[in-house]
Amino acid sequence: MTTLYNKIDLLPGVGEKRAAHYHKMGIDTAWDLLNHMPRTYLDFTQTVCIADAPIGEPCAIYGEVVEKLPEQRIRGGLTLYKVVLCDDEQALVLTFFNTPYTYRSMQVGQRYYVYGKVTGGMLRKEMSSPQVQADDGRAVLLLPIYPQTTGLTSAMMRTNVRSALQLLEDSMETLPPWVMEQYDLMTLCEAMRQIHFPKSQADMQRARRRLAFEELLKYQVGTTMLRARMQVKTAYAMQPNVSLDDFIAALPFALTGAQQRAIADIEKDLCGAVPMNRLLQGDVGSGKTVVAAAAIVYAVRNGCQSVLMAPTEILAQQHFHTLTAFLQSIGIQPVLLNGSLTAKEKRQIRSQIADGSAMVIVGTHAVIQKDTVFARLGLVITDEQHRFGVAQRRALAEKGGHPHKLVMSATPIPRTLALILYGDLDITVLDEAPKGRLPIRTYAVTGRKREDAYGFLRQHLDAGEQAYIVCAMIEESEQMELVQAAEQYAKELQTGAFAAYRVGLLHGRMKPQEKERIMRQMKAHEIDVLVCTTVVEVGVDVPNATIILIENAERFGMAQLHQLRGRVGRGTQQSHCILVTDSTNEESKDRLRELCRTTNGFEIAEADLKRRGPGDFFGSAQHGMPPMMQAALCNDMPLVKETQAAAGQLLEQDPDLRSSDCAALRLAILEMFAKNGENGLN
Ligand code: ADP
Ligand code: MG
């Protein structure tokens, strides 16, 4: 017998070919299929009269077929099939191209619901290739449309979902009964039925609420449990009487109040009996690196090794230089473990790490995590940019002795969201820019102003400043093309508008050494204008760069534009950001206007969250956030709060979820975190 958890190949109606398509989408079982939610629904419940049908917009119409016109062959082997549908007042001609199937099934005298775009004028209205349903008592008035995939249509998926729904058993339930009662939630089975084939908009909303509630609850209970698991004893509880005065005195600037507070938070954590688990959140340019450096000095002076892991080679390189500058004066020499070292060099550095002669280690996540043995690793710092995932945060946590962990994030996240997403961490926010910074001036212009913008750039280059020009990344698959476009663009600038200047090029397809070389040249002011793809986005720090011009700005999300803009405004000079766009789309113009209005990352984050949901902050759903949760986080904060309360209640009653009421929930949570590469919950 087929069950929900058998391979989807066994589901009636799923052949080998279709199964292969499903597997490609990560749908392996009928249960996975049920968890593949409709993207939207065609709403046949709100029908309009033909006379009132809006021209050019999709709508639903209800009427009776009064006539079927004979097939009409036209040029190119095209055949038209036409049906005349009437309501009380007017007629509508339905046209099907080359597809006789629906046409043949339709009968004169029968009533139908149709859905599509109406064209024509007052007198003669038409609808091409409509969705059609006979009013025979079996019509599905909210017709689910699934996310588009090659090889599978929504119609196919509907049929398969129907079979999968047959396999649901009413006894299946993840939530304890009292939770469902208290928060007025439908059962899991009901929610699954109603999310795929809702009887009404209201039922669909209730189903969404139930499913979002469950995802949020699982996530919050899971992170809280994780947090509890991390309350182990650390082998690296540090001494509270270590002074950083000499380190601070040697800095080329005075720390901001926010930096001082952050360092105090961290010192306190480092001296605690349980490992630190702290998120250091700060807008671009808020000065997180020096806070990390302070933590490192504190750890080293307590005889603990520290690692700083960066997401890219460029960033690792840069962190290494910055740390070296900060630490050398007080006699600490960091080492860099990166991908461009020879095997021999790597071996050498690894042996220094193993015998404890290297105390501060900088590198990428990948390089450090791969067979590095530490003598006494007490502090792990990750610079995680905007990545979402509990898993990465824990990768090194399993190293012996439970080291302290500090996560730095450059993505301003609205507080409510941060509390949920980083529920397993304490949070410190650097909410104060270093003194003497002038807010970056931002302008949005059309391509016609490009020459003027170049002129503006040249003025500043003549004054000894530097600039970035960013080309838009379109799609992963277009990477190659982007590189060519960037190369081409750089060449044009070098021979044209910027012939008198040194133009550099930096893109994602370059070897790490090459990237490093270019970045070094940029820092040393051997390059005036750096043409780049978004590789420059992450943390690159060249204080003398004062202008960034971003081509096709509409292709970037707000958070990303804000990050890019943060490449300038790092010194004391006035900086500028020029967003070039020829888009006429109101929504994207709106976003760019918002960026021109404010340089406060948290304000932008709030605006973006309201507008587009949290996707922009964490990448897409493939980064591990379930879709319902994503939806709720952006437009249903009351629900988020309810689930927070429920999670609290649940864990208070049953901290390990050991009762039989919670058994299913516990399993579901394990599964959710396993999908994120998580394995620490058992
Ligand atoms: P981010 O938070 O984006 O990682 P960085 O740590 O790269 O920021 O700091 C941005 C720039 O500001 C660096 O050039 C750094 O040296 C400088 N900086 C950091 N703190 C201060 C401060 N308190 N006063 C002046 N400049 C500072
Ligand atoms: Mg940084």
Q: Across the chain, what does the average pLDDT equal?
A: 87
Chain centroid to Cα 625, Å, comes to: 8
Minimal CA–CA distance to 430: which of 306, 557, 292? 292
What residues does the ion ligand 2 have nearby, CB within 5 Å? 539
Q: Measuring CA to CA, how many Å separate 305 from each of 172, 238, 273, 373, 596?
A: 50, 12, 18, 11, 43
Give the separation between CA 574 and CA 594, rounded to whole angstroms: 20
Q: Name the band, by pLDDT with cuts 50, 70 and 90, for residue 528.
A: very high
- Report the number of secondary-structure helices (H) and strands (E) in the chain: 25, 23
* Residue 358 and residue 491 in one domain: no
Q: Mind listing the pLDDT tens digit for each residue in 145-196?
A: 998 788 899 999 999 999 999 999 988 999 999 999 999 999 999 999 999 9
Asked whether 393 and 406 are in contact (CB, 8 A), the reply is no
Mean pLDDT over residues 255-274, rounded?
A: 96
Residues 103 and 180 in one domain: no
Percentage of the chain beyond pLDDT 90 is 58
Q: Tell me: do 456 and 424 sit in the same domain.
A: no
607 part of a folded domain: no
**pLDDT band at residue 571, thresholds of 50, 70 and 90?**
confident
Tell me what pLDDT residue 539 has.
54
Region at 11 (left for phi over 0; alpha for psi -120 to 50; beta for the rest): beta
Indicate whether residue 253 lines ligand 1 (CB < 6 A): yes
78-86 vs 72-74, strand pairing mode: antiparallel
Predicted pLDDT of residue 620: 38
- Rounded to the nearest whole angstrom, what is the distance from the C-alpha of residue 122 to the centroid of ligand 2? 61
Cα-based distances in Å from 468 to 53, 84, 272: 51, 60, 44
pLDDT of residue 619: 44
pLDDT at 226: 80
Taking every pair of Cα atoms in the chain, the longest distance, rounded to a whole number of angstroms, is 93
Measure 538 CA to ligand 2 centroid, in angstroms.
7
CB of residue 257 inside a 6 A radius of ligand 1: no
Q: What is the mean pLDDT of residues 281-290?
A: 88
pLDDT score of 390 more than 80: no
Same domain, 288 and 184: no
| 627 is a domain residue | no
CATH number, residue 104? 2.40.50.140
Task: Provide the pLDDT for residue 114.
Answer: 96
Q: What is the pLDDT of residue 398?
A: 55
Q: Which domain covers residue 338, as residue numbers?
A: 245-430
DSSP helix/strand/coil, 255:
coil
Do 358 and 480 lie in a common domain?
no
Which ligand is closest to the CA of 260, given by its number?
1
Q: Residue 544: what are its φ and ψ, rounded to 5°?
A: -80, -10
User: Does residue 625 surpass a pLDDT of 50?
Assistant: yes
Q: Nearest-CA neighbor of 578 among 489, 447, 465, 667?
A: 447
Q: Are residues 129 and 260 both part of a single domain?
A: no
CB distance 289 to ligand 1 below 6 Å = yes
Last residue of a domain, one of 571, 598, 625: 598
Tell me the backbone φ, ψ of residue 73, rounded to 5 degrees. Answer: -85, 130
Q: What is the pLDDT of residues 322-373, one digit of tens each?
A: 999 999 999 999 999 988 888 899 999 999 999 999 999 999 877 777 778 9
In a domain, 69, yes or no: yes
Q: Residues 428-446: what's their mean pLDDT?
A: 90
Distances (CA, A) of 613 to 59, 207, 213, 300, 387: 27, 20, 17, 41, 15
Range with lowest mean pLDDT among 35-44, 79-88, 487-496, 632-641: 632-641
The Cα–Cα gap between 26 and 24 comes to: 5
| Closest atom, ligand 1, to C-alpha of 290 | 6
Cβ distance 285 to 433 under 8 Å?
yes
pTM of the model: 0.72
Instruction: Give the pairing type, strands 91-97 and 125-128.
Output: parallel
For residue 613, pLDDT over 70 is answered with no
* Residue 480 binned pLDDT confidence (cut-offs 50, 70, 90): low
432 lines ligand 1 (CB under 6 A): no
More confident residue, 609 or 603: 603
pLDDT at position 388 over 60: no
Return the pLDDT at 280.
Answer: 93
Assess whether 180 and 121 both reside in one domain: no
Say which range, 21-30, 358-367, 371-380, 617-626, has the weakest mean pLDDT: 617-626
Position in ligand 1 atom list of the atom nearest CA 322: 16
Q: Which residue's CA is minimally distant from atom 17 of ligand 1? A: 287
Number of domains comprising the chain:
4
List, in order, residues 6 or more apart from 280 with CB less than 8 Å away. Answer: 262, 266, 288, 291, 292, 406, 407, 408, 409, 428, 430
Cite the DSSP H helix spans in 422-464: 450-462
